[in-house]
Amino acid sequence: MKYSILFLLACLSTHTLAGDLYYSKSFTSSQKSQVKKCYELDNSFPQQVNEFTSSGDILINGMIHQREGYMFLTKTNAYGSWMDFKPLRCDTRTTQEKAQADKIKHQKALEAARRKAKEDIEAAKSAQLAAKRAAEKKLIEDQAAAELRLINAQQAEAELKKQEQLNKNNATLKKQYARTAKKCISNDQGRVKKALFSALHSIHRPAVINIEDQKVSGMRFFNNIMEVSYSFKLYTQTQFGNRLGSKSEPNSLKDTKDINVKAYGRSTAVATCKL
């Protein structure tokens, strides 16, 4: 067998157990004496042994020295074969040492609690300050946004009024230009008639040239000059003795300069007027 088994529990404990406590072959006499010492100094040690052996044999196969005593590595055969088990722990400190350690532990716990309370207070103050700053920042941002909205609204209102005034001015100007253009093309009749008469030989000239139904088709502006394109209907009348014949649409009139003659259609011309 890999481990040499030594029976120990009978001489160390009076408890009735389901299993026994053994040492491994490599476990030294000095280490075994530490186990005995644990039974003497640590009241919880026999209780641990009783608990561990309640379901089978326990084998101690290693020892680790710790600040408060020892930790013994164990194996159990509770499940039919030896396998690693939880360690036995032994506190070899004296009553005074334990009391002193408990006092130090208590003091450290108090210090940690005070430190944690201080940290919590500082964290609460920081959170409160951060919340205050965030609220102030949001208030400033909201005020700035409100002011910007007001400025934008005022600018939009001013722009709307400006556009309305511009539209009104444009409408007024458009009416003025329309009146001026109408007067311009009306005054242009004499020039057109004279040009049309001049373009024909005297023997082909009608007695009268009539210009009717004048309509403005476009306007252009050059400094203080307005150029008006317009269309109209042309009619001629022939002289018979002391009377004029009926009006008829001409087919003998010719284009000249800006005047474009359309027989049986609408002729066009361009009038120029000063504003």
User: What are the tens digits of pLDDT across the range 225-243?
Assistant: 999 999 998 888 888 878 8
CA distance 154 to 48: 86
Confidence at residue 133, expressed as pLDDT on a 0 to 100 scale: 93
Q: What is the pLDDT of residue 94?
A: 84
Is 60 exceeded by the pLDDT of residue 178? yes
Q: List pLDDT tens digits, range 213-226.
A: 999 999 998 888 99
- pLDDT tens digit sequence for 24-43: 999 999 999 999 999 999 99
Query: What is the β-pairing status of strands 83-91 and 69-76?
Result: antiparallel
Element containing residue 255 per DSSP (H, E): none
Q: Is residue 92's pLDDT more than 60?
A: yes
Sequence-ordered list of residues with C-beta below 8 angstroms from that of 5, at least 6 positions apart, any chain: 22, 23, 59
Question: How is residue 187 written in tokens?
Answer: 């005054």
At 254, the pLDDT band (50, 70, 90 cuts) reads: confident
Confidence class of residue 2 from pLDDT cuts 50, 70 and 90? very low
Helix, strand or coil, per DSSP, at residue 202: helix
Which of 90-104, 167-181, 192-206 is the least confident region? 192-206
DSSP-derived letter for residue 243 is E
**What are the extents of the domains in the chain?**
9-92, 95-124, 186-274
Averaged pLDDT score across all residues of the chain: 86
Residue 120 has pLDDT above 60, yes or no: yes
Q: In the block, which residue shows the tokens 């005020």?
A: 143
Q: State yes or no: pLDDT of 21 exceeds 70.
A: yes
Confidence at residue 228, expressed as pLDDT on a 0 to 100 scale: 92
Q: What angle do CA 25, 26, 27 make, to 5 degrees?
A: 95
- CA dist 84 to 1, 10, 228, 273, Å? 17, 23, 113, 118
The fraction of the chain above a pLDDT of 90, given in percent, is 50
CA dist., res. 270 & res. 260, Å (int)? 9
pLDDT over threshold 70, residue 13: no
Helices and strands (DSSP H and E) totals, the chain: 5, 9
Cα torsion 204, 208, 213, 217: sign: positive
What is d(CA 12, CA 39) in angstroms, rounded to the nearest whole number?
A: 7
pLDDT band at 257 (very low <50, low <70, confident <90, very high): confident
